Amino acid sequence: MIGFRNTHNQPIYVNRAQVLYVTTFEEDVSVIALAVAGSGGKPVTVHVRGSVELVASKLSAPPAPAAVPAR
């Protein structure tokens, strides 16, 4: 799960495997379309803070290694 802030400054988390596309909404706000059907069968979208380049780079970055519990 990748963390973002929505346009109301609330944290949201996106599963990168469900992202269909990222596009510009307005300056420093991007739209992420998810492979989840909403009403009318259209993809669910979320508006997040950040340029398309920033959002896309966060989504394409390799996942962080899982923490291994100490023994």
Number of H helices, E strands in the chain: 1, 5
Q: Distance of CA 10 to CAs 40, 58, 63, 65, Å?
A: 26, 17, 22, 25
Q: In the prediction, which pLDDT does 50 show?
A: 96
Question: What are 40-56's pLDDT values in tens digits?
Answer: 999 999 999 999 999 99
* pLDDT surpasses 90 at 32: yes
- Average pLDDT of the residues of the chain: 91
| Beta strand ranges found along 15-57 (DSSP E) | 19-26, 29-37, 43-49
* pLDDT surpasses 90 at 63: no
Question: What are 2-17's pLDDT values in tens digits?
Answer: 999 999 999 999 999 9
Distance, in Å, from the CA atom of 33 to the CA atom of 61, rounded to the nearest integer, reads 18
